[in-house]
Amino acid sequence: MAQLMIFLIAFSLLAFAPLCFCGKSSSGYLYPQFYDHSCPKAQEIVKCIVAKAVAKETRMAASLLRLHFHDCFVKGCDASILLDSSGSIISEKRSNPNRNSARGFEVIDEIKSALEKECPQTVSCADILALAARDSTVLTGGPSWEVPLGRRDSKGASLSGSNNDIPAPNNTFQTILTKFKLQGLDIVDLVALSGSHTIGNARCTSFRQRLYNQSGNGQPDNTLDQSYAAQLRIGCPRSGGDQNLFFLDFVSPTKFDNSYFKNILASKGLLNSDQVLSTKNEASMELVKKYAENNDLFFQQFAKSMVKMGNISPLTGNRGEIRRNCRRIN
């Protein structure tokens, strides 16, 4: 009987261990309940401040979601994107993908300050980014998911990694897919995560080439709906207007839904990296069609892919640190 009890206890421990969406690194696991005892109000505090920021400016939801993405694609999800330049650290904020476009840092600062008052040096900046991304998605009408937690913060940044590893708006489909695969993400993750462009804005500089000189021959992109292109040219001329903003999803720009995929099928994807999902790869095109037809399917896969992306090379255990200020190492 005693042996049976020992077996049952051991079995139950093994059975429940994987239930926490574990993202394994070399020295530990991520799991949603990580702060249940050390900082039980952590998720509530993050959600409250994100909700306040999004209520003030709806665009902030997309900005916070993008910060998590741009963080995870450089050295893993370690909050390296939040570091300012100091000493030997050259900030990733200077990189081409982030310069004059990455935003939301003040919101992260406010969250960190509140968490430091509630439970000093307990909640990492990397976990704040992951939670803020989830809450931003939910607040704009998107799906929710349990966020695996327990990441620690890096003690360095990588400007070259930020310049080279983050997919760019003018990259070819194959280049974008390769960048995803280098992070352990596949074509399903690529298409689903691209759906985050259902909210937010892009600058004129991100798509001007499509309007005027797509292939270097002085001609516009022939895969772009021409009436839509004519509307875009008004605010994005051949020169000037670089910082003018355009909705990534002009149909429902502040609502997280599958309109993005419907736009692509209508040849009205704003960025080249959006439109190539339906023009350069058959498997990708089929996924675009599925998500355009079925919003629930898109939501389910987006949540799965966000968890998967959030598990890229986390620092756990004794690696990294818990920054007291997200902008600088301790």
Q: How far apart are CA 194 and CA 139, in angstroms?
A: 18
State the binding site for heme b: 197
Q: How far apart are CA 329 and CA 45, in angstroms?
A: 23
State the binding site for substrate: 167
Q: How far apart are CA 45 and CA 122, in angstroms?
A: 13
Q: How far apart are CA 24 and CA 212, in angstroms?
A: 46
In this structure, what token pair is assigned to residue 106? 């003040």
* Phi-psi sector, 275: left (phi>0), alpha (psi -120 to 50), beta: alpha
State the binding site for Ca(2+): 71, 74, 76, 78, 80, 92, 198, 249, 257
Please confirm, yes or no, whether 37 is among the known catalytic residues: no
Cβ neighbours for 220, distance < 8 A, ≥ 6 positions apart? 210, 211, 212, 213, 214, 226, 229
The residue annotated as part of the active site, out of 70, 208, 323, 327, is 70
How many angstroms separate the Cα of 158 from the Cα of each of 60, 81, 126, 264, 299? 25, 9, 15, 33, 32
Please give the positions annotated as active site.
70
